[in-house]
A and B are shown apart, each in its own frame.
Chain A
């Protein structure tokens, strides 16, 4: 089970200070990474769209986000007359705080020795581990729901209902793909998930969960969390190109900034979670120098790849229509993740019986997937055909 060796000798003042230090560092790093992520996204996006992008504030426009943040900070803070004031003010924080807290369970490095204590480089390593991610994502739904309702206006309410339905639908697929990871690890702790992925097959193929689970759970998880955090191509929650935004239509100033902070923080955190679950997390070969620094570097590289991936997806894919979104979530992702979960469970059970049962389960699973596929074949055809006109966004 996961537990930090820091607490093995009782809780002293030094231990509390180390924990505080970790919290402050994680908080600061996350905020700075959000600043950089927004700048990075705008810069890469403008490169892909053949324009220059932010280039005024600081070198390469790197301080643009800071300038935008200051501007939002000094803008007038409007509360609509018909709004429920308390709920309206509470909602942005329900979006931001879960986004912060999820990062606490992500292992960003190996085990280090500091001030005579041994500790893991992550803010917390609770035994419930990865379930904390599900807890926080179920809380962050309230941020969207209450923002829409609290605004006391029709469009935000409709946007919020739509968004909540989306987030709840994709939470199921996300949970099922996490269950596959937990099944093969045998522990909920994120630290255990990372350590179980250390090593290689044949000397050069890493023992990542991506490979151990087959690629399917990873793909399902990727799609599900993209929908969960309302990134393109599932961003109809707040479709920026449409006239009425969505749940945050009535928000302005700092509270509006908080919603965007939450979204980009979720992007950073979820990239880190993907790396933890499927790509070996903070582990990799030491090349040169102190051994504690290499896990951190590998972690940053892997996370950076996914941050780039999200920007790329945003530039490349058109937005899904609402019915396509729901079809994909309920009729494709959830059955697929359930079927794959069965296959992996079969593999786990049959590992000592040899390969035969695994093949049998695979065939049965194939039949199962085929059988459920025939039922919604027409939906998939529709989904595929109308994807080319998806940008028009009928909903």
Chain B
């Protein structure tokens, strides 16, 4: 036993000596996923974009209030409903020292939007994120003109998702090379990509400074940035508490107190962009009746669940849009918690003894779904939760109009652009890909179609608000909440704030 103790102490001593040497100006992020690729035009993952956005800059970006502002562009002018001009700033350098020109911007847009532009006949998987872009041309040397096939007012809201690449570099290394190498114009440049483990970047000293509307303008503060991949949330929390990392994303609500109570760490939150709701199968046995849907809405005490299960880290919604989204209606009718009214409505619908239904959900949301089920049961809708896997449930419910089985589906839809186009249309337009309730109202379809191409901002907002009012009365879904994004941070971190679009921009972050 003595020997064992001695051996343990000796081993500990060895590891104490070689404890990872953290440089003063290293900032480490404990992050859920690795990048799929380093090619900004060849992926469809938000996490990949979060990492890449620290090495690449966009034509436009967003400030902390989610306002779209120029980044690599100096200014944006809308010439006509389908033509936008972007004047490109001079003096921007790529990491290899070459100058960024309007030609690079045109090349970037073409690479994303044109058929087969990725090489080998492949089209960028990000093409659909750029809507009806027809072409990009260089005019007057430093201006890029983007022409649309039809009016698409959300182009400025979608451009921050795309990053500018160097034409010469891509032509040299090809799309295959760009998958593992980078030559961006962002605040950090790649040092090493340890696949599945970490992406290590260092400050780019010739950085032009970033968006002039977002202070501070200039070089990044820290010497190195490391995105360390820690998929398991308990391990991410452990890494933060142990001081191995300075920021972690997706801090689970049940760990918030633990992180707050730890002397060296704190919690930061920002309103998220993902709306949670329950789809009710409008072609199904019970929920084809509006009274039954209303009964469900009155049976759920959203505020209680937000308070008790989500730790207060969510904003209540009564329509599909986040309170921060463009055109969100502030005064939608609220279906308040009233289980007696639910029972009465069920009786009126011909179910005086209540109904028995199932609710599908993914494993990650089982606890919340169980809480909702018990509330529904109290209101006369005896609900059993069925846990399924994400892709399988999506197949079952998002049938694009084909008949579906099932009663209720607890699910969500993200809205990174905070524009209704990306969330309202797919979830509410007849037979659209996210319409899991099977909702169909020609009037709403017409409003959604017209709003998508309406350029008058006030008129467009009015259309969406009108559609929200109709949907609020039709009630295809019980709208629940928009959870906040929760980050755990080290107290040595300064100058960083989380951003509502889930990006982790480290340009302004410093460590003490």
The answer to whether A and B belong to the same complex is: no
A residues touching B (Cβ–Cβ < 8 Å)?
A: none
